[in-house]
Structure 1
Amino acid sequence: MASVQPESVLVLTNLHDATADLVLRILAERRVPVVRLDPGVDLHRDASLTARYGTGGRRGSLLTATRALDLDVVRSVWYRRPTSFHGPPDLGGQEAKFAGAQAFWGAGGILASLSGAHYVNHPWQVRNAEYKPAQLAAAQHCGLLVPDTVITADPAEAREFCRARAAVYKPLWSTPYVGPDGSAQQVWVRDVRTEEITDAVSACPHLFQARVDKSVDVRLTAVGGKLFAGALESPDLDWRRRQALLTCEPVAVPDPVAAGVAAYLSRMGLVFGAFDFAVGRDGTWYFLECNPNGQWAWQPPRLTRPIAHAIADELENPP
């Protein structure tokens, strides 16, 4: 087993995360020591995680098949997309649920409590920042413009909102959904008419939003104080639907938007954020959402290269 030098970078993500690979290659070129771990999987295989607490303080260690890491000298943690915690594969039923919960609160708690480590982003802050209502409230507080929006399970409220303006529906969370034929289904942002709103809305909260008469969409990736924005041209209302038809060109960020993004990151306790804006035909930028752990490697190299280097900089030289 090879020991790891102090000031290592800990990367928490799954084995097939190609986005993480872009940054890890840069860190390797810079000879920055890195340990990659998928705690939801690796801790059931050949890795072990231990933390000790007492009057002398706290000590922790992570052992993998090839690395031995002192958790007290981790310089930064990149929380990317690790597999969810679950019980060992040989357990089932209540035993598996119990073991999975213990892993979440135990191993997850250790990895989220590394004293002195710089998190990009901290997993608890990621979860807090994933709530759409919290995003909209924070954006308004930080001076970003938000389209008129209603979140409701009241069909009458929904009808009244959509009757007064051109509106779209978007899910509050990308929940896995399987159709009758067993195929995976995706709920896209789409136009909604008043007559489409039935009493089924009462089953759960729905988000309806004024449709921006937009000239273009913008994906703005923020890494610390660095902003990387791409103007997105798509034939679809929801540009994610057919990304093969999407074009993305770098675009300048207006100063008021840049200031609002910086304030948003500070308010939400984030280092990284993938912001979506709709730009009106008059040039006004409207905040739609911010994914605190969004993908960015699908963009053209002229955008992905500087984003990858910015993340590597943040991990190598934490503030």
Structure 2
Amino acid sequence: MAGDRHRAVLVLTNSYDVTADVVLRILADRRVPVVRVDPGADLHAGALLTAHYSTGEQRGTLCTSSRVLDLCNVRSVWVRRPSPHEAPPGMAEHDAKFAGAQAFWGTGGILASLPGAHYVNHPWCIRNAEYKPVQLAVASRSEFLIPDTVITADPGEARRFCADQPGGAVYKPIWDSRYRDAEGTAQQVWVRGVDPAEITDAVSACPHLFQAKVSKLFDVRVTVVGTRLFGVRIDSPDLDWRHRQALMTCTPVEIPESVARSVVAYLGELRLTYGAFDFAVTAAGDWYFLECNPNGQWAWQPAETTDGIAHALADQLEKGPDT
């Protein structure tokens, strides 16, 4: 409808998100109105968000330094990389915890329930899809091949599982938690091989994820936007290609029809419009599902692939909700 041309795309992301800029330039060329805001930061720096609810009516406004947005006039919401909902700086600890929780549930709730908006992806769907156990369960139902996996805080079970894997086992964190060593230096926990003998009773402190090591020939990243799939083969000398990305090479790869069908089923069950899937591919041509990031980065891929993903995202945001 002609009126839809005036409905804005709301982009929730931080001010340093250069990946979002790629899509916003395309929307600007198409003359699609866009409002970009980082609610976790901007609402402490002059932006204002208000919502009204009454019987049969919902309305509200978001005021930034340059725009006043009618919350009932949003065609799409792109949940990219917004800052966490926190308290304003300088508050006492207990007051800050209270204010931060109110911001999370209040601001987050308003922006997650805009009437008639198309979400890419909805924030609650993102959170649900970030749980590794959920990913593995849905992947199994979607008929992906999955490496044998155990999640346990039982050291004996962990040792038995790893010892039973003929090709070896790997450890990977269940969540990309912030970690600092004894000197306070930030550390990244990469996927790595595990010898059963090195598993100690310290495993009992929290759940750990151990997985059969896939004898892979290469990795694949499949980025999905709506019904469009973009596959890239990744060749890396490392078990975890993220470790030294300067050493990896990326080339487009064809996605088998069986994998594409499973991708569609997976996204459908988790109600996702966007997903970044990682696979390990064997010499026999078997594609093993490793994970799906519902908000994964994509602009690091070859220029042709990045351009295709950017235009597919712009298409999704421009079209708004399905009618």
Shorter-chain TM-score bucket reads: over 0.9
**Deviation of residue 56 (structure 1)?**
4.3
AA paired with 2:193? D
Aligned counterparts of 2:171 and 2:93: Cα–Cα separation in 1? 37
Aligned counterparts of 2:55 and 2:274: Cα–Cα separation in 1? 36
Deviations 1:20-42 (A, max 9, x none): 11111111111110000100000
Equivalent position SS for 2:238 = coil
Aligned position for 1:18: 18
In the TM superposition, 1:38-49 aligns within 5 A as: 38-49=38-49
Are the aligned partners of 1:6 and 1:74 in contact in 2 as well (CA < 8 Å)?
no
Mean Cα deviation higher: 175-184 or 94-103: 175-184
Aligned position for 2:269: 267
Aligned counterparts of 1:248 and 1:94: Cα–Cα separation in 2? 48
**Deviation of residue 115 (structure 1)?**
1.1
- Residues 1:169 and 2:177 aligned together: no
Aligned counterparts of 1:199 and 1:182: Cα–Cα separation in 2? 24
- Residues 1:231 and 2:233 aligned together: yes
Aligned counterparts of 1:306 and 1:155: Cα–Cα separation in 2? 46
Are the aligned partners of 2:125 and 2:270 in contact in 1 as well (CA < 8 Å)?
yes
Structure 2: gaps of 5 or more residues: none
TM-score of the superposed pair, with normalisation by structure 1? 0.97
Deviations 1:243-285 (A, max 9, x none): 0111110000000100000000000010000000000110000
Backbone CA RMSD of aligned residues: 0.9
Aligned position for 2:34: 34
Deviations 1:107-158 (A, max 9, x none): 1100000011000000000000000000000000011111100001111111
In the TM superposition, 1:116-131 aligns within 5 A as: 116-131=116-131
Aligned position for 2:151: 151
Aligned counterparts of 1:65 and 1:38: Cα–Cα separation in 2? 12
**Deviation of residue 88 (structure 1)?**
1.1
- Residues 1:181 and 2:183 aligned together: yes
Aligned position for 2:245: 243
Aligned counterparts of 1:90 and 1:31: Cα–Cα separation in 2? 41
In the TM superposition, 1:269-284 aligns within 5 A as: 269-284=271-286
Equivalent position SS for 1:72 = coil
Aligned counterparts of 1:182 and 1:16: Cα–Cα separation in 2? 25
**Deviation of residue 291 (structure 1)?**
0.4
Aligned position for 1:255: 257
- After superposing on structure 2, the runs of 4+ consecutive aligned residues of structure 1 that deviate more than 2 Å are none
Aligned position for 1:84: 84
Aligned position for 1:195: 197
Mean Cα deviation higher: 181-190 or 215-224: 181-190
Q: Percent identity?
A: 65
Aligned position for 2:105: 105
Aligned counterparts of 2:12 and 2:93: Cα–Cα separation in 1? 27
Are the aligned partners of 1:153 and 1:206 in contact in 2 as well (CA < 8 Å)?
yes
Aligned counterparts of 1:200 and 1:55: Cα–Cα separation in 2? 55
Equivalent position SS for 2:291 = strand
Structure 1: gaps of 5 or more residues: none
Are the aligned partners of 1:9 and 1:34 in contact in 2 as well (CA < 8 Å)?
yes
**Deviation of residue 90 (structure 1)?**
3.0
In the TM superposition, 1:47-58 aligns within 5 A as: 47-58=47-58
**Matched positions, count:** 315
Are the aligned partners of 1:170 and 1:207 in contact in 2 as well (CA < 8 Å)?
yes
AA paired with 2:125? Q
AA paired with 1:188? W
Aligned counterparts of 2:238 and 2:183: Cα–Cα separation in 1? 25
